[in-house]
Amino acid sequence: MIIIPTINLTMAATIAVLYAVGFYLLLSRSLMRVLIGVVVLGHASNLLLQLAGGPPARPPIIGTDPAAMADPLPQALALTAIVITFALTTFLLALGYRSFVLVGHDEVQDDVEDRRIGGQKADPVALESADDDPPDDSDDPSSDRIASTDDDVEAAATGERERP
């Protein structure tokens, strides 16, 4: 068995390019690109897993010289990983399709609620009462708020209600 599986320069460059491209695609807004990025990253990590076993050698099938045999474990792990990546790819593909059907395009939208909070101009959401809120953005689908009937603070302070 090989003791030092130092990854050679060619393979290191390949890994670097694959990861970089995968990351680059992953950071885009188009879901299809993200998906392709995931596939590329999957290839990259499977390749890396296989390389972690050591440099090229004979297939690990009994009959060859064990000393010249490739490390079988990373192969088995990579095989499992390939299947899993495949499963995830198909799922993401379906999700992308579904998104396309529902939204009409396949770009990842920003979160509406986050944007609303980000757009608040430091208007604190008051703690004590439900009634002194800053007005919501108009694009809030549920903005037809119910008017509240709050009583007079002064009346509260004089404790009229305690009278039986």
Residues 4-33 binding other proteins (CB under 8 A) are 4-33
User: Least CB distance from residue 43 to other proteins, whole Å?
Assistant: 5
Kindly identify the residues of this chain, within the stretch 52-91, that bind other proteins according to CB under 8 A: 52-53, 55-63, 66, 69-91
Q: How far apart are CA 90 and CA 106, in angstroms?
A: 16
Q: What backbone phi and psi angles, to 5 degrees, belong to 100?
A: -65, -45
Kindly state the greatest CA–CA separation across the chain: 98
Which tokens in the block code for residue 105?
């395009």
User: Least CB distance from residue 42 to other proteins, whole Å?
Assistant: 6
Residue among 101, 137, 102 at smallest CA distance from 117: 137
Kindly identify the residues of this chain, within the stretch 108-147, that bind other proteins according to CB under 8 A: 108-115, 117-120, 122-131, 133, 136, 141-142, 145-146
User: Least CB distance from residue 21 to other proteins, whole Å?
Assistant: 4
User: Least CB distance from residue 156 to other proteins, whole Å?
Assistant: 3
User: Least CB distance from residue 132 to other proteins, whole Å?
Assistant: 9
Integer distance in angstroms from the first to the last C-alpha of the chain? 91
Q: How far apart are CA 69 and CA 54, in angstroms?
A: 10
- Secondary structure class of 27 (helix, strand, coil): coil
